[in-house]
Amino acid sequence: MPEIVEVMQWTDLIIFDYITGNYDRIASNQDAAEKEHIPEILADNIHNLRRDKQTNTIWLIDNESGFLDGYELMRNPKKSAEAKRFISFHKQMLNSICIFRKSTIRNLNKLHFHGNPAEMLLSEVHRHEPLSDFLPKIPEKLKFHETMKSRISDVYDRVQLCKRRFRRSE
């Protein structure tokens, strides 16, 4: 049973990094392995991730390469080979999973069916972060709202494909 819990933690990590556009965890290892022609890099420890020794829980740390930075990197894949590469790495990882926690699916559904999940996220930040009024505005060129909604839809579509493929319900 601990193995299935670990798989689902990795699935959550992949979904989180996909939605946020975080390229400084698994995708960076994929990039290094491909550029250096050393596939063994993928078996190395993933930085920006720690495992609790007592509970075996995975902790995601140092997520600054997500959302604004990640969305900026991947915003124009036609002009940037690097953007194309990281988009491809994220798609590969997303397409490698088909086991999901029920709670993850419930939360994904909330985000997917919400009219504007980015606005929901920003509202939560403003509600819970006392210094949020001092944060800079998100540049329009990032298309933050559209990008986040699109990436959530990609994950939702993946879940639906897995459900059809394995004919399992939530």
What percentage of the chain has pLDDT greater than the value 90?
A: 43
* Predicted structure pTM score: 0.84
Q: What is the mean pLDDT of the chain?
A: 85
Report whether pLDDT(105) > 60.
yes
The two tokens of residue 140 are 């329009």
What six digits make up the tokens of 160? 């639906």
d(C-alpha 159, C-alpha 105), whole Å: 8
- Using alpha carbons only, give the angle 82, 141, 48 rounded to the nearest 5 degrees: 50
What's the rounded Cα separation, in Å, for the pair 18 and 148?
Answer: 10
Window from 15-19, 46-50, 108-112, 119-123 with minimum mean pLDDT: 46-50
Number of Cβ atoms within 10 Å of the Cβ of 62? 13
pLDDT band at 69 (very low <50, low <70, confident <90, very high): confident
Q: Which helix (H) or strand (E) holds 42?
A: none
Q: Which run of H or E residues covers position 169?
A: none
pLDDT score of 153 more than 60: yes
The radius of gyration of the chain's CA atoms, rounded to the nearest angstrom, is 17
